[in-house]
């Protein structure tokens, strides 16, 4: 038990460190990819009349290019939303374990009702994931309290609950990690879109204010810049909101199952140890 208990924090710390490095690598790399995409794909001469990006665009890629320097920033944010959504989806899926969480908890309760703690621990080893890790830690303390003769029953139940809470404290931060990035993008994507919109409108009004006939090219470019940045900013923010709400809901469900498992362990222990 001592070896397992000491291994868990070390494993959690190692996983946490690797996940802390991940954003430091991904964010700069994504910025480089976005700039290259903007310059060499969107800005390709084939997307414009006469093969020159200074001319009018002839397809949607050229239109997006006309959004200006805010476009690669918004592309960066969009790519980050996609990357971190995939990363969180995989992490939370692993946390739930190999089988369905509800079926796993029912199997654990069935084993405990039969007073077969070893079988319940074997189920945790098979299930894996954060939920199984927390339940396994609780089962270890459960078995320890069965052989404890110096403590009262209430004290034993408190010890089991404390063990589960400590295990949960180690597991949950790994599930919530990087969600702050999605939450930040929700706000700043819209703000960058608005900045691009304002810059585009400034260009449009500048073209209209020229003496004589307005510069039609500058007017069109300014309007394109405004609308493209607005669309990219709002779209990125909307995707980030959906992803963030989905992941927080999934974590809440997993937390509920952990609480349910802890309560079940306590009640089963109380019923079997008069």
Q: What share of the chain is helix, strand, coil (3-state, %, to 5)?
A: 85, 0, 15
Q: pLDDT of 154-187, one tens digit each?
A: 888 888 888 888 888 888 888 888 899 999 999 8
CB 162 within 8 A of CB 188: no
d(CA 167, CA 105): 17
What does the pLDDT read at residue 212?
55
In the chain, domain spans: 24-65, 75-272
For residue 41, the 8-state DSSP code is: I
CB 76 within 8 A of CB 38: no
What does the pLDDT read at residue 5?
44
What does the pLDDT read at residue 229?
85
Nearest to 5 by CA among 225, 151, 117, 162: 162
What does the pLDDT read at residue 184?
93
Strand partners, 48: 57
d(CA 81, CA 78): 5
Please list the ranges in the chain whose pLDDT falls under 70.
Answer: 1-20, 207, 209-221, 273-274
Distances (CA, A) of 18 to 15, 23, 171: 5, 10, 15
Largest CA distance in the chain: 97
């Amino acid at each position: 038990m001592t070896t397992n208990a000491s291994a868990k924090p070390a494993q959690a710390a190692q996983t946490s460190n690797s996940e802390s490095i991940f954003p430091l690598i991904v964010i700069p790399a994504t910025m480089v990819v976005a700039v290259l995409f903007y310059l060499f794909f969107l800005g390709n001469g084939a997307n414009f009349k006469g093969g020159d990006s200074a001319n009018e665009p002839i397809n949607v890629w050229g239109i997006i290019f006309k959004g200006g320097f805010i476009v690669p920033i918004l592309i960066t944010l969009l790519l980050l939303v996609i990357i971190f959504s995939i990363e969180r989806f995989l992490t939370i899926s692993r946390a739930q374990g190999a089988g369905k969480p509800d079926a796993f908890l029912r199997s654990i309760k069935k084993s405990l009702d039969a007073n077969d703690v070893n079988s319940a621990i074997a189920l945790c080893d098979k299930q894996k994931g954060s939920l199984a890790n927390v339940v396994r830690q609780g089962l270890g303390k459960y078995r320890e309290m069965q052989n404890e003769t110096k403590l009262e029953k209430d004290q034993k139940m408190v010890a089991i609950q404390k063990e589960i809470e400590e295990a949960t404290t180690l597991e949950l931060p790994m599930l919530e990690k990087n969600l702050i990035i999605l939450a930040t993008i929700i706000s700043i994507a819209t703000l960058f879109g608005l900045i691009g919109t304002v810059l585009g409108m400034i260009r449009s009004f500048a073209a209209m204010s020229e003496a004589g006939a307005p510069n039609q090219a500058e007017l069109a470019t300014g309007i394109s810049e405004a609308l493209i940045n607005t669309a990219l900013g709002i779209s990125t923010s909307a995707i980030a909101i959906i992803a963030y709400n989905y992941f927080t809901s999934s974590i809440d469900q997993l937390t509920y199952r952990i609480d349910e498992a802890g309560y079940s362990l306590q009640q089963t222990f109380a019923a079997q140890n008069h």
